[in-house]
């Protein structure tokens, strides 16, 4: 009986290292596999992040700003906001046309007033014959002011063209969720029952 027990113990001692080694080997394999999977997933994430960063770097706000500064509307084309180009050139055409018109009228009244003051009657413009000297001077000053306002408006439109290109370039990869809705609509309201209605614009932001 004792011999059988000793034999079983010996066999157990002989088999134990093999079982332990097999278990350790199995655990090691699982650990290596888990580690490999973790490293692979991490590499994939890094590759995706690197690729995404590379794509993002391709669209540069600096390029958009430079393009719009050199050629108004070019930054909008670079940002693929084609529909904004007619708006930019339409606004510049209107302001530029006003600058030309007001400057032409200002020069005409200025020359008319100068010729009257210097007595150069042969150079007077028949269009202004119905105006006296004070009216000519007043109109010259008025058109000068209008011209300056038009020049300032042209500069503002030019700067807005650059700012718009910069903002669109920064938001080029910005994605608005489908659950988010933004609405702009005109509104008509009254303060009281006897007050006249007034018009306005409402901005509505909703989460679906």
Query: Which tens digits make up the pLDDT trace of 145-200?
Result: 999 999 999 999 999 999 999 999 988 887 655 555 556 566 666 666 665 666 66
Mean of all residue pLDDT scores within the chain: 76
pLDDT tens-digit map of 77-108: 999 999 999 999 999 999 999 999 999 999 99
- DSSP assignment of 106-169: HHHHHHHHHHHHHT-GGG--GGGTTS-HHHHHHHHHHHHHHHHHHHHHHHHHHHHHHHHHHHHH
Q: Is the pLDDT of residue 66 over 70?
A: yes
The answer to whether 125 and 112 have CB atoms below 8 angstroms apart is yes
The answer to whether 60 and 78 have CB atoms below 8 angstroms apart is no
């Amino acid at each position: 009986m004792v011999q059988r027990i000793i034999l079983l113990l010996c066999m157990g001692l002989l088999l134990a290292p093999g079982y332990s080694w097999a278990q350790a080997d199995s655990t090691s394999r699982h650990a290596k596999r888990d580690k490999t999977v973790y490293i692979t997933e991490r590499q994939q994430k890094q590759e995706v992040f690197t690729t995404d960063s590379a794509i993002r770097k391709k669209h540069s706000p600096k390029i958009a700003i430079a393009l719009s500064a050199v050629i108004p509307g070019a930054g909008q084309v670079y940002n693929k906001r084609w529909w904004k180009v007619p708006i930019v050139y339409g606004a510049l055409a209107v302001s530029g046309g006003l600058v030309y018109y007001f400057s032409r009228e200002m020069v005409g009244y200025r020359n008319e007033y100068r010729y009257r003051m210097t007595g150069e009657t042969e150079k007077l413009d028949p269009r202004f014959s119905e105006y006296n000297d004070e009216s000519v001077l007043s109109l010259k000053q008025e058109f000068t002011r209008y011209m300056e306002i038009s020049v300032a408006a042209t500069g503002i439109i030019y700067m807005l063209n650059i700012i718009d290109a910069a903002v669109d370039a920064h938001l080029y990869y910005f994605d608005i969720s489908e659950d988010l809705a933004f609405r702009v609509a005109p509104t008509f309201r009254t303060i009281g029952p006897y007050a006249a209605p007034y018009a306005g614009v409402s901005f509505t932001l909703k989460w679906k």
